[in-house]
Amino acid sequence: MSFWQFLQTNWAELATLIKEHLVLVFISIAVAVVIGVPTGILLTRYRALRGPVLGIANVMQTVPSLALFGFLIPLPFIGGIGTRTALVALVLYSLLPIIRNTVTGILGVEPSVREAAVAMGMTDGQVLRQVELPLAAGVIVTGIRVATVIAVGVTTIAAAVGAGGLGVYIFRGLRQYDNNLLLAGALSAALLALGADFLLGLFERQFSFETKRKGSTAGRLIPVAVAAVVILGVIGVWQFAKQPAKQDRVAVGSKDFTESALLAEIIAQMLESRGVAVERRFELGGNLPHEALVNGTLDLYPEYTGTSFTAILHHAPVTDPRAVYDQVKREYASNFGVDVSPPLGFENTFAILVRGADARRLNLKTISEAAPQTPRWRAGFGQDFMSRADGYPGFSKAYGLNFAEVREMDLSLTYIALSSNQVDLIAGNSTEGRIAQLDLVQLADDRHYFPPYEAVYLVRQDSLARVPQLRDALAKLANAISTEEMRQLNYEIDGNKRDPKEVVKTWLAGKRF
């Protein structure tokens, strides 16, 4: 698909993301101005505060944005996932340039002008409003301009905490190696930044008395602009605060890859068909879905038993699927008040793959059967597989593998490398959509080396009690998705670039639950 075609098919979604992006930037800048300018004024009046306050704002600026979002998630009220956390982080980032330029602008007013103002009998408030602020306005608007451009950039990271915006395309594009998504997200963000810079640049010239012509309206513009920013900020915050109460909604989360988002969309549509309002909080990075589920921001999200078992509960890998499922269910109930749904019917584990032609020629069905071939074979493994506890070192030992060559490469590229004869064996994802398309064959893990990664939904017990339809929907999905079906669904998204909502809708229609 060309970029132009991509834009034509996805312009509606892109427009929504741009709108989300702009709303985030606008609200955060408005709040930062409302906090930052008075703070800056205060700092010009109380010299002793200047060092500490600017110091704190400076430190805020140096915290990497992803880390700042991470710190905020566990905090009550300002934390969690979604728009609120993003806004808090964005405001913190925007404060420094605004406070600093307010201070610099006011202190930069010529001392003789300030002295004349005082000597004319102006009160401190009059000196501030009529002399210092108008003369500092250009510098203050420069600070707001810098803060806005930074905020447009930082807002792309907000997608990681589920706040939406153009970062959704950028993150998705990175994961799916889809240059159209990346380009659409990054280009739009860059254009927004340039646009904001340009518009505020015009504004800045209006505010700077140096370039002002006779009869300029800038003097009258200042109160209007300030009022507009404050009013719009208040409206934004109010809009945000009056989100519907949580009682009548189910918040469905997902991790940041195609399959997780698909599984989340499946349960979301099933709930909607049962008359339940759903809030989608998809594509959350790292451990966010777990954190959000435990603190109650999410009601449920799809997970894999092996991941819960090793990454969350910190147990050593076990190969028996039943034992893993039972222990995860027991410990999640007692530790987190979270229930584990019945398995969905497929695993997403490492799939040891070879070319179909090789498998048929050598009659290979299991990894053990392939082991004798390995001294003539080159292997291609992803970084993750090379480094993790249940990855390459243990795997090659368990089967006595001895490759002619092992190449470490990006997981997504290994499939192409295998089908184009660059390598002869890879460790892919068992539900990867391209397996069938590229005529690859999965060898059975006959020694049960890999721990089980059964797909399940993790759902809060109190949500099950609150929304009776949940239990029914989850029961319907028990054993309902085979590995083949999951591969096909993934391929519809990643290979055929279809819209996940449509794919899920079609699939559910065929299932007739």
Partner 1 sequence: MNAADNQLVQFRNVSFSHPNAPAPVISDLNLNVQQGETLVLLGESGCGKTTTLKLVNRLLLPSAGEVIVEGKATTSWDPIALRRHIGYVIQEGGLFPHFTIARNVGLVPSLSGWDEKRIAERGRELLSLVGLDPERFADRYPRELSGGQRQRVGVARALAANPSLLLLDEPFGALDPLTRASLQREFADLSQRLGKTAILVTHDVREALALGTRIGLMHKGKLLLLESPEGFRASSNEQARAYLETLV
Closest approach of Cβ 135 to partner 1, in Å? Answer: 6
Tally Cβ neighbours within 10 Å of residue 285.
18
Q: Which amino acid is at 412?
A: S
Closer CB to partner 1, 61 or 130, in the complex? 130
Residue 195 Cβ vs partner 1, minimum distance, rounded to whole Å: 29
**Given the complex with partner 1, which of 119 and 316 has the nearer CB atom?**
119
Q: Nearest CA to 322 among 342, 339, 338? A: 342
- Nearest approach in angstroms of CB 119 to partner 1 is 4
> In whole angstroms, what is the distance from residue 387 CA to residue 367 CA?
20
Please say which residue, 136 or 477, places its beta carbon nearer to partner 1: 136
Q: How do beta strands 440-443 and 350-355 pair?
A: antiparallel
The nearer residue to partner 1, 130 or 412, going by C-beta atoms, is 130
Taking residue 320's Cβ as centre, other Cβ atoms within 10 Å add up to 12
Q: Does residue 399 contact residue 366 with C-beta atoms inside 8 Å? A: no
**CB distance 306 to 324 below 8 Å:** yes
**Among 281, 236, 305, which Cα is nearest to 73's?**
281
User: 113 vs 190, which CB is nearer to partner 1?
Assistant: 113
For the bound state, the minimum distance from the C-beta of residue 208 to partner 1, rounded and expressed in Å, comes to: 9
CB of 143 to partner 1, least distance (A): 19
Nearest to 168 by CA among 249, 90, 254, 295: 254
HEC profile of 106-171: HHCCCHHHHHHHHHCCCCHHHHHHHHHHHHHHHHHHHHHHHHHHHHHHHHHHHHHHCCCCCHHHHH
Nearer to partner 1, 11 or 209 (CB): 209
> Smaller CB distance to partner 1: residue 113 or 174?
113
**CB closer to partner 1, 126 vs 327:** 126
* Residue 113 or 194 with smaller CB distance to partner 1: 113
The nearest distance, CB 229 to partner 1, in angstroms, is: 21
Catalog residues that contact partner 1 under the rule CB under 8 A. Answer: 112-113, 115-123, 126, 130-131, 134-135, 209, 212, 214-215, 219
Q: Which residues contact 147 (CB under 8 A, 6 or more apart)?
A: 29, 32, 36, 93, 94, 95, 96, 97, 98
Nearer to partner 1, 111 or 510 (CB): 111
- Closest distance to partner 1 from the beta carbon of 130 (Å): 8
If the CB atoms of residues 116 and 277 are measured against partner 1, the closer one turns out to be 116
| Smallest separation, CB 134 to partner 1 (Å) | 5
Residue that has been written with the tokens 């404050």 in this structure: 230
Helices (H), 389-454: 392-399, 411-419, 434-437
Name the residue nearer to partner 1 (CB basis): 216 or 402: 216
Query: Could you tell me the sign of the dihedral formed by the alpha carbons of 499, 500, 504, 507, in that order?
Result: positive
Q: How are beta strands 350-355 and 338-340 bridged, if at all?
A: unpaired
Q: How far apart are CA 42 and CA 57, in angstroms?
A: 15
Angle at 235 between CA 203 and CA 285, to 5 degrees: 90
Closest approach, Cβ 140 to partner 1, in A, equals 14
Considering beta carbons, is residue 55 or 219 the nearer one to partner 1? 219
3-state secondary structure 354-397: EEHHHHHHHCCCEHHHHHHHHHHCEEEEEHHHHHCCCCHHHHHH
Q: How far is the CB of 115 from partner 1 (least distance, A)?
A: 7
- 164: closest CA among 147, 140, 189, 144? 189
- Give the integer Cα–Cα distance in Å for 390 and 375: 22
User: Tokens for 72?
Assistant: 């905020």
To partner 1, the closest distance from the beta carbon of 144 in angstroms equals 19
CB of 213 to partner 1, least distance (A): 9
Residue 276, C-beta contacts closer than 8 angstroms, at least 6 positions apart: 249, 250, 467, 469, 470
- Cα 274 from Cα 184, distance rounded (Å): 35
**Nearest-CA neighbor of 266 among 302, 304, 305?**
302
